[in-house]
Structure 1
Amino acid sequence: MSHEATMWAVKVRGISCAEARVLWHLADCHNPIYGCYPKQDYLADACEIDERSVRRSLVALREKGLVNWIEQREGKNRKANRYSLAFERGFRPHSCENEPDNLSASNASSTGQNEGFEPDISDSLNRTPESSIEPVREPVIEPVRERGCARELPEEGDAAIVEDRKRIERDFKAWYRTWPTSLADSEKAARDAWSALSREERAACIERTPAYISAVNANKGKFTFSSVYLRGKAWEKLDDPKSDVALPSVHNPFSKAWMAGMLAQLLKPAATAMPVPTKYQQLQLAQGGEAAEAVRLDRSQKYGWPRVNTMHQRAFDRQGVTVPAPLARISESFVQVHRDAEAAKRWKQAFDRRGWPWLPNTGHEWFFFPPGEPEEALSEFAAATARERGDDDAA
């Protein structure tokens, strides 16, 4: 087998599937020193078609200027034709339209006819095997030195290899259009990186790239070049909970990550759309004083942060919530605080000052908070979340 021949054959376009099979097996039988001498019955068996289809394909390939052949004889006995391929230096395409094709059984007038081709220019194409050397009639195994190419060759050489390469190119073009930096990238570098991936890696890339793009956008991150993304198989980072693009995951009520998710929601501005106060509440608000403050605190805790209230309701059913990976990373430094501890009382006072809803009594005795006193801890937590988002004014 000539590696150069097979790589040339799989890149040929504009031929039928049967022709592609025949051409690939011709290339597979090509030897750069001794030439190419496969028999038609071998080609028919390898291509899984009949010999008549092999002959039709050979004639079509010759008419398209891709192959040519010279009949070999020993006296009156025919031997396997010697085929030359268009990629070889000095290849001379067939030019006589009415000349017999020299393929046995192709037609009555041509059977046994000795083709009168002029010698090819390249001496290597005219070298006849010495009598002591068996001509190449079946593939000669040659080690494949390039890792990427070895992946692209199927176990059985047939037209599937042509379709496989077409599918790889179609998949690449479809994927490349979705990459955010494609307009400024090197498409060639990206295509080379794509070709170096295995079939399974390409499938994973296609499936997981949308999630990767969403994760980077959610974290206000920057996209790398497409070729760098492909070579590094960056979509695999989605499975690493500590990576910058890890997918959000569900965390149990009152766990570290759950508490971080709740605090992140509470740090957002309170909702302004609230139900109209009852007449009694309106009267208390109008009177002012402690009664009015109590009404405002109650309304704020009930309606100011609806997502947090939903988290609390789900906690009664022991249902967790989805927390982004950056918040989960920040929460790793949280410290455990018992519900009845003095630290928990200070945290409740901090919540009340802000009008935040306090943790529901679901039977949990331990909570997690950022380390330090509530005011300083909340300030540090807010700065950390801003840094994760990439805010310009992050402390």
Structure 2
Amino acid sequence: MSHKATMWAVTVRGISCAEARVLWHLADCHNPVEGCFPSQDYLADACEIDVRSVRRHLDSLRGKGMINWAEQRDGKYRKNNRYALAFEEGFRPAQTNYQPDNLSGSENASTGQNSQFEPDKIDVLNRTLESSTYKPVIEPVTEPGERAGEREGLEDPKRVERDFKRWFPIWPTYVADSEREARKVWFELSSEERADCLERTSAYIAAVKATGRTKGWQAASVYLSTKAWQKLSDPKSDIAPPSVHNPFSRAWSALRLAELLKPMATAMPALTLYQRGQVAAGGDAARLVDRERREKYGWPKVNTMHQFAERAQGSTVSPDLVAISEGFEKVHRDSELAGRWKALHERMGWPWLPSTGHEWLYFPPGGPEEAMIEFKAAVARERGHDDAA
């Protein structure tokens, strides 16, 4: 690979985007000593186009004086063309009244050179496969000491600019925003970061809108420099999508308590004849019936979570609850503190945790009553209103 060749290629003007892509990959195969011998199949694969298109663009570049080539043969067998680039010393463009056809690969194809043509000693076309000490460059090579990602600096700036123009109108503030500042940061991003930004910005905007906090959008340049779209991958981020968490985990426990804070469901099956008799009797029997019905029917989402937990299936938790759950404490199921939490469940009529073999439970820190008051306030703060539901 010749950095001089590739840097020359990205500065060429007056050619189409497809021709620029072919020219850059052609220059990427150039070696300042050995020459340039890429196959058309390689160029087609590198440019992600078909071979016919490669031939057409090579022919156009030759006609515009950007490249030239000499056909190489080994007897009757045709080998890869040896290409010359316009920046090389001694470059001689093709004759404008000559129409080459050797790109087709036919045995009788013209070489694209005058039959009487003899290259000068300094002419780049004077280097041949046979005159080279080393194997000529057909595929791009990595120069000694080349760092990973160094080739990234040789990206086609036209393509980077096109991608920026695709992205910029997506951002909510683009009408009054500084396009110059945004473009500057865009070009400083890596190719992977730009691709990720293009793919995820719409999802980021939708996620922010879903939170209801859309006032004061940050400038496009700030969004790019902070790589804010990466927040979508952070389960604790306020704009991350809901994620599935294992039973009895911190996040799962936070979701369970948040559901228990919601009002009890009122739609319950009718009392059986036996239950009606216990309710009519009053006292402990009536209270027992009420508690059993509340535990079984009062919070159906929690009961569903318990059923899933018995099958080792997790539940989907919103990012705000994931963030709150980070402060939960581990409590052993047989501890005195766990007993106090169970007693609170009984007083409230909440269903207690199923026995699935999990010895450790997670609850907000502190005594159960005080902890639930603080937990409810934390949920309200995260969701931006006074109701934890």
Instruction: Provide the TM-score with structure 2 as the length reference.
Output: 0.58
Q: Show the counterpart of 1:301.
A: 295
Q: Following the alignment from structure 1 to structure 2, what is the Cα–Cα distance between the partners of residues 350 and 360? A: 16
- The reply to whether residue 270 of structure 1 matches residue 271 of structure 2 is no
Q: Show the counterpart of 1:227.
A: 221
- The reply to whether residue 318 of structure 1 matches residue 287 of structure 2 is no
Q: Following the alignment from structure 1 to structure 2, what is the Cα–Cα distance between the partners of residues 260 and 377? A: 12
Trace 1:349-388 onto structure 2 (pairs within 5 A).
349-388=343-382
Q: Show the counterpart of 2:182.
A: 190
**Number of residues of Structure 1 aligned to a counterpart in Structure 2:** 300
Instruction: Pick from 194, 203, 206 the counterpart of residue 202 of structure 1.
Output: 194
Q: Show the counterpart of 1:256.
A: 250
Q: Following the alignment from structure 1 to structure 2, what is the Cα–Cα distance between the partners of residues 295 and 388? A: 37
Q: Show the counterpart of 2:81.
A: none
Measure how far apart 1:232 and its partner are: 1.5
Measure how far apart 1:351 and its partner are: 1.7
Q: Following the alignment from structure 2 to structure 1, what is the Cα–Cα distance between the partners of residues 239 and 213? A: 9
Matched residue of 1:363: which SS? coil
CA deviations on 1:163-191 (whole Å, 9 max, x unpaired) are x835x455445544554544554444434
Distance 1:177 1:349, change over 3 A: farther
Measure how far apart 1:373 and its partner are: 1.7
Distance 1:19 1:2, change over 3 A: closer
Distance 1:237 1:385, change over 3 A: same
Measure how far apart 1:81 and its partner are: 7.6
Q: Show the counterpart of 1:165.
A: 158
Measure how far apart 1:380 and its partner are: 0.7
Q: Show the counterpart of 1:118.
A: none
Matched residue of 1:333: which SS? coil
Larger radius of gyration: 1
Measure how far apart 1:263 and its partner are: 0.7
Tell me, which stretches of 5 or more residues in structure 2 are unaligned?
28-35, 44-53, 67-89, 100-121, 126-148
Matched residue of 2:382: which SS? helix
Q: Following the alignment from structure 1 to structure 2, what is the Cα–Cα distance between the partners of residues 207 and 245? A: 16
For the 8 Å contact 1:22–1:58, the answer to whether it is kept is no
Q: Following the alignment from structure 2 to structure 1, what is the Cα–Cα distance between the partners of residues 357 and 92? A: 88
Matched residue of 1:268: which SS? coil
Distance 1:277 1:169, change over 3 A: farther
Q: Show the counterpart of 1:91.
A: none
CA deviations on 1:2-37 (whole Å, 9 max, x unpaired) are 999866645x57x584599689999xxxxxxxxxxx
Distance 1:135 1:347, change over 3 A: same
Q: Following the alignment from structure 1 to structure 2, what is the Cα–Cα distance between the partners of residues 231 and 196? A: 9
Q: Show the counterpart of 1:130.
A: none
Measure how far apart 1:228 and its partner are: 1.4
Matched residue of 1:224: which SS? coil
Tell me, which stretches of 5 or more residues in structure 1 are unaligned?
27-41, 60-78, 83-100, 107-133, 138-147, 155-160
Matched residue of 1:360: which SS? coil
Trace 1:97-246 onto structure 2 (pairs within 5 A).
103=96, 105=98, 151=152, 153-154=154-155, 161=156, 165-166=158-159, 168=160, 171-182=163-174, 185-213=177-205, 215-217=207-209, 221=213, 223-240=217-234, 243-246=237-240
Q: What letter is aligned with 1:329?
A: A
Q: What letter is aligned with 2:158?
A: R
Distance 1:349 1:219, change over 3 A: farther
Note the aligned Cα RMSD (angstroms): 4.9
Measure how far apart 1:290 and its partner are: 4.1
Instruction: Provide the TM-score with structure 1 as the length reference.
Output: 0.57
For the 8 Å contact 2:328–2:365, the answer to whether it is kept is yes
CA deviations on 1:234-268 (whole Å, 9 max, x unpaired) are 23344445544455444332233322221112112
For the 8 Å contact 2:237–2:323, the answer to whether it is kept is no
Distance 1:284 1:6, change over 3 A: same
Matched residue of 1:336: which SS? strand
Distance 1:225 1:305, change over 3 A: farther
